[in-house]
Amino acid sequence: MSNTEQTAHKVCWSCKGPVEASALFCETCNAIQAPGQLDHFTRFGLEHSFAVDVDAMEATYLKQQQKLHPDRFASRSGREQALSSQQAASLNEAFETLKNPVARAHYMLRLAGHEPEGGEGHTVNDPGLLMEAMEMREALDDADDKITIDAMIKDTRKQARACEKDLGAAFDSKSYDAAKKLATRLRYLMKMTEEARAKKSRLAAA
């Protein structure tokens, strides 16, 4: 982290002394602090980049939960319990958002001041994508054996991988319009994979 910036301070609720605004614990009295306005990437000490090493991030997540989770504060004061619950919830939110590539893309778009497509009214105006999605859905409807569905799942997953790569490039070059489209495509691909899986278990159950 950069050392030249001035660090913002607030008052520690416990020892009433100064504490860094983003600190999890007071460096003087060790009391747990309220979660600040940390963005999700900073929470995990990550660059603002779409390419995230999820396993490494999970290791950081677990290490932080070890310190912040309410179970660590079960015999502490009510205030500490409440703060720990807030901290653990913020950490969970950060992890869940960055873990999932679609949520991560949407989050990065919002950070950059762009509203992702299809959030509220589900309006997507990419005829190519809509066509593709329709074809995939038809193919899924027609598929009635495990092998065909497995092949479809494999294919959509491969496409999703490629799409994630493109998304990384789009964010790197700050091409947010492209990123928006790609995020929508990725969302469709994930949804198709999910539907294919659901159909597979329906077939298996029948």
Shortest distance, CB of residue 37 to other proteins, whole angstroms? 15
DSSP 8-class letter at 198: H
When asked if residue 175 is in the footprint of other proteins (CB under 8 A), the reply is: no
From residue 69, alpha-carbon distances to 52, 85, 87, 116, 126 in Å are 24, 7, 8, 32, 43
Shortest distance, CB of residue 32 to other proteins, whole angstroms? 8
User: Helices 54-68 & 78-99, crossing angle to 10 degrees?
Assistant: 170
When asked if residue 14 is in the footprint of other proteins (CB under 8 A), the reply is: yes
* Among 66, 125, 173, 175, interactor with other proteins by CB under 8 A: 66
Q: Please name the helix (run of DSSP H) or strand (run of DSSP E) that holds residue 87, with its range, or none.
A: helix 78-99
Whole-number Å distance between alpha carbons of 34 and 37: 10
Interaction residues for other proteins, span 75-104 (CB under 8 A): 75-80, 85-86, 88-90, 92-93, 95-96
Residues in touch with other proteins (CB under 8 A): 3-4, 6-7, 9, 11-12, 14-18, 20, 24-32, 62, 65-80, 85-86, 88-90, 92-93, 95-96, 197-198, 201, 204-205
